[in-house]
Chain A
């Protein structure tokens, strides 16, 4: 298998799970990032808390890379053109809010709560994501 990193993936996943638990236990809210993002940019209650969560998402990687592993740059490789990046961003924003969640809201919180709705949503976005990548590979956009 190519580039397979199960140990770091599992450790990272457990850390994400702990964040989800602490957030729910403390605030009573689910750590669905697309929902937190929507509440931050549209007027609603808890705007400051939501914004601070998002700021934390940026601080986390900075802490890792500037304090703990200063020699390694943050890996961030995108081969898509700007047309695809803009279309992709729009579809991710529109689709997650229409569908009521993203990888964290449906994929982690929803499946963790054994929500059938979230399990089906997760299966759908993984499937359409795989189909999209397959088509782009046939068109030569991804290798």
Chain B
């Protein structure tokens, strides 16, 4: 068991969860964001199921200093909401609404071999690199 192997396994489990939940299909995500017409609340159950499962473990593990593999635990410090978070989350929401893909499903969607998934992922990489170069 090393860091690389665990990362691969966790990615596989996460991807299985995404596909079973239906979230790899942008149509389903747009259905959730379509609050005024034919609303599909499924996404709340996905996020709720994940939060309820992970939450208690985060609570139990919160004072640990090292992980099971011996890595130091560096959790984000408690921070006040700032302008970067507000603007970033707003822009992310607009992009999410334009297509129906967020980063996890965007990567899992490569499994479909649909060219759209590759175009979206390259554009997403460009956005990540632009942010890194523009905002320090």
Contacts and interface: CB of A to CB of B under 8 A. Distances in A.
Decide if the interface of chain B is mainly helix, strand, loop or mixed.
helix
A84 B97 CA distance: 10
Nearest to A113: B58
Contacts, number: 494
Interface in B1-16: 1, 3-16
Given A78-B26, A112-B58, A52 B49 contact: no
Contacts of B84: 98-100
A93 B95 CA distance: 9
Given A57-B14, A95-B93, A85 B99 contact: yes
A53 to B, nearest CB: 4
Contacts of B78: 115, 117
A53 B11 contact: yes
B76 to A, nearest CB: 7
B33 A28 contact: no
Contacts of B48: 10, 13
Given A95-B127, A129-B96, 12 more contacts: A3-B28, A13-B47, A14-B49, A19-B10, A30-B75, A56-B14, A89-B126, A89-B127, A106-B89, A111-B55, A121-B89, A127-B93
13 contacts: A17-B53, A19-B10, A25-B67, A75-B25, A85-B98, A89-B106, A89-B119, A92-B103, A103-B102, A104-B103, A117-B85, A125-B90, A130-B33
